[in-house]
Amino acid sequence: MPTLWIRSARVIDPASKRNGVDDLFVVHGKFVPSLSAAAKKEAQVIDAKGLVACPGLVDIHVHFREPGQTHKETIGTGARAAAAGGFTTVVCMPNTAPVADNAGTIQFINDAARRDAVVKVLPTGCITVGMKGAALAPFGSLKRAGVVALTDDGECVQSNEIMRRACEYAKMFGLPIMDHCQDAALTQGSVMNEGTISTRLGLRGWPHAAEDIIVARNVILSEYTGAHIHMQHISSRYSVGIIRRAKTRGVKITAEATPHHLALTEDALGTYDTNFKMNPPLRTEADRRALIAGLRDGTLDCISTDHAPHTDYEKDKEFDYAPNGILGLETSLAVSLDVLVRRSKFQLSQVIDLMTRQPSRILGLPAGTLATGAAADVCLFDPNESWIYDAKAGFSKSSNSPWHGAKLTGRVKTTIVDGRVVFADGKIVA
């Protein structure tokens, strides 16, 4: 493992409150405060002048599809897409085939990650057996197998009684619950946000109330049981308001927003392009602005991609029948910088915080910092470089992105995991 000397970067680390031009030093995969003159002569030098050096990005919501759906993505290809996007730690969802509701499947995922992944891939386990919402999965054995959270993402536990018991048992085992907030009875056959545009397009509308009701339910159950519930991919301004009020009471909840819900609205669906079809759906401009305000004031805690690969032939269907979901890992940083820094006047350090320290804090992960002694996970990026995103030439096995062919600004140049360069100059090098 080489000694690294990252020289003359603009170092931004919200966790240790660093923000200025500086050098970073790595020995045996850990950050150290300095190198001796002899060590500097032997070190691998990375000239980072003009680049930002921040902690490796952390995404607590990705779908890597393995086992069982490897025609869409594998842990290996998903990890390479993550590295290309500057991510060094990702948390994968359990809606695989079979679903990750037992220790054996978690072991399979961990083995595949150790064998194939160039970044750190951490598993979650199901809340319920088969993700069917009827009986709790074995939380204790899932924790022993290495899950970092529990979720039925892709589904939502509809029974309040089952969710209450899940909260109680998850708290016993010290595991957060991550919830995909959707009242299924209100969304049968729904494919886009309910409103005038859905009426004009002749597509069945998806009311924001379907999200708001479950968010409110989760606030009540978190307050009642003391369990930590994390709300995934919030899209509704009413949900933002519910979460904001709950946090003033100290309720143990957290929440995330995705780059696509920050950047896009239902207006993008006018051409029936299924690469803009997702769950929850793109909503109104008022919703989009509320998400940004929620990130600004801390109501929403972090940015996650909900990276959801699908093949071209799956997406190439009538809008009603195409699956929900888009790619996100390779475009997340650039899209977030555009929406939040350039258009909404966030500080660059705020956005980095939302993509490093904050997601790590939510799940208690040992990531998201450049502090001495921490694992040397680094993202080096040029915030001003413009580039054209070609989803078909990307590192994911799929190409379902609304940003295919778009000009983006802000490009990852190098990704380092545990002191090893895994991505540089547009190539995986690990």
- pLDDT per residue as tens digits for the range 195-211: 999 999 999 999 999 99
Q: Would residue 426 be called left, alpha or beta, if left means φ above 0 and alpha means ψ between -120 and 50 degrees?
A: left
Whether 306 is a known active-site residue: answer: yes
Confidence at 355, pLDDT banded by 50, 70, 90: very high
Q: Can you give the pLDDT at residue 174?
A: 98
Rounded distance between C-alpha atoms, residue 352 and residue 410, angstroms: 13
Alpha helices in 64-195 (DSSP H): 75-84, 103-116, 139-145, 160-172
**Distance (Å, whole) CA 265 – CA 262:** 8
Q: What angle do CA 241, 246, 250 make, to 5 degrees?
A: 145
Residues 361-384, mean pLDDT to the nearest whole number: 98
pLDDT exceeds 90 at position 171: yes
- Which residue has 């939040």 as its token pair? 340
Q: Using alpha carbons, list the distances in angstroms from residue 44 to 56, 214, 350, 416, 423.
A: 19, 51, 30, 13, 15
pLDDT, the chain, mean: 98
Mean pLDDT confidence for 4-27: 98
Q: What is the pLDDT of residue 48?
A: 98
Cα 20 to Cα 48: distance, rounded to the nearest angstrom:
13
- Interacting residues of 17 by C-beta distance below 8 A, sequence separation 6+: none
391-429 per-position pLDDT tens digit: 999 999 999 999 999 999 999 999 999 999 999 999 999
Q: Give me the phi and psi of 155, to 5 degrees please.
A: -130, 170
From 13, 101, 301, 306, the catalytic residue: 306
> Is 90 exceeded by the pLDDT of residue 2?
no
Q: How far apart are CA 396 and CA 373, in angstroms?
A: 32
pLDDT at 1 over 90: no
Percent of the chain having pLDDT more than 90?
A: 99
Mean pLDDT of 19-29: 98
- In this prediction, residue 415 carries a pLDDT of 98
Query: Which domains are seen in the chain, by residue range?
Result: 56-363 (3.20.20.140)
pLDDT bracket for residue 299 (50, 70, 90): very high
Classify the phi-psi angles of 298: left when phi > 0, otherwise alpha if psi is within -120 to 50, otherwise beta. Answer: left
- Look at residues 331, 198, 313 and name the one whose alpha carbon lies nearest to residue 262: 331
* 312-337 tens-digit pLDDT: 999 999 999 999 999 999 999 999 99
Query: Rounded mean pLDDT of 217-240?
Result: 98
By the 10 Å C-beta count (0-12 exposed, 13-18 middle, 19+ buried), 425 is classed as: exposed
In this predicted structure, the answer to whether residue 301 has a pLDDT above a threshold of 80 is yes
Identify the band that residue 266 occupies on the pLDDT scale cut at 50, 70 and 90: very high
For helices 209-225 and 237-248, what crossing angle results, to 10°?
20
Question: pLDDT tens, 117-138?
Answer: 999 999 999 999 999 999 999 9
Residue 430 pLDDT more than 80?
Answer: no
